[in-house]
Amino acid sequence: MGLFVPSLLVFAVTLIRSFTSGAAAQLMGRANADRLFSYVLLLPLTLKLAYAFIICLAVLGFATGAGTAEDAQVDASGYYYTYWDRAAHPQQSARVELTEFEYYEALKSQLRIFSAGTAVFHAFGSFLVLASASAAAGRTLTAPECSYGSAERLRWS
């Protein structure tokens, strides 16, 4: 959770920034899918490879962590996880005992899943920052909009 919550906050800020800069209107939505695809093609090769690598690692983390991920816990009686038994009437929480090895495997699976989620948020957030910067760079400040005097004075000062 120490990784996931801060990255979620950073992602939320970049998402808000993409809407305020106009990047969301220019690149997102069904009507702009071709514009988004062409924007991705304009990225440098190393950046494309980095995004592909992050996505592959995230998929690998989700795939390897999903099989054995339980909410493993430990107390004085041993290692266990609980789940909601819907077959019982009335429905109740059931406890499944784990060995120490199974407990640590479940913890590693949880770490892989949370790390993969964090990586996806960071990668998508960095892409939104790039898109926001590109959208903001498209809007230039012209001399009549400048309130500090002539454009000539700004250029040389």
In the prediction, which pLDDT does 33 show? Answer: 73
Q: Is the pLDDT of residue 9 over 90?
A: no
Write the DSSP symbol of residue 67.
Answer: T
Identify the pLDDT of residue 52: 92
Please check whether residue 24 is in contact with residue 36, taking contact to mean a CB–CB distance below 8 angstroms: no
Report H helices in 22-150.
Answer: 23-27, 33-42, 45-66, 100-138
Plot region of 133 (φ>0 → left; ψ -120 to 50 → alpha; else → beta) = alpha
pLDDT tens-digit profile of 82-111? 777 777 778 777 778 888 888 888 888 888
pLDDT reading at 149 higher than 90: no
Which of the four pLDDT bands, split at 50, 70 and 90, describes residue 147? low
Summarised one tens digit per residue, pLDDT across range 27-62 is 776 777 777 777 788 889 999 999 999 999 988 888
21 close to 135: Cβ distance less than 8 angstroms: yes
pLDDT in the model for residue 45: 93
**What gap in Å lies between CA 110 and CA 112, rounded to an integer?**
5
> What's the pLDDT band for 138 if we cut at 50, 70, 90?
low
**What per-residue confidence (pLDDT) applies to 56?**
92
Statement: residue 140 has pLDDT above 60: no
Q: What is the pLDDT of residue 148?
A: 56
Contact between 58 and 67 (Cβ < 8 Å): no
- Report pLDDT for 157: 45
Q: What is the average pLDDT value for the chain, to the nearest integer?
A: 76
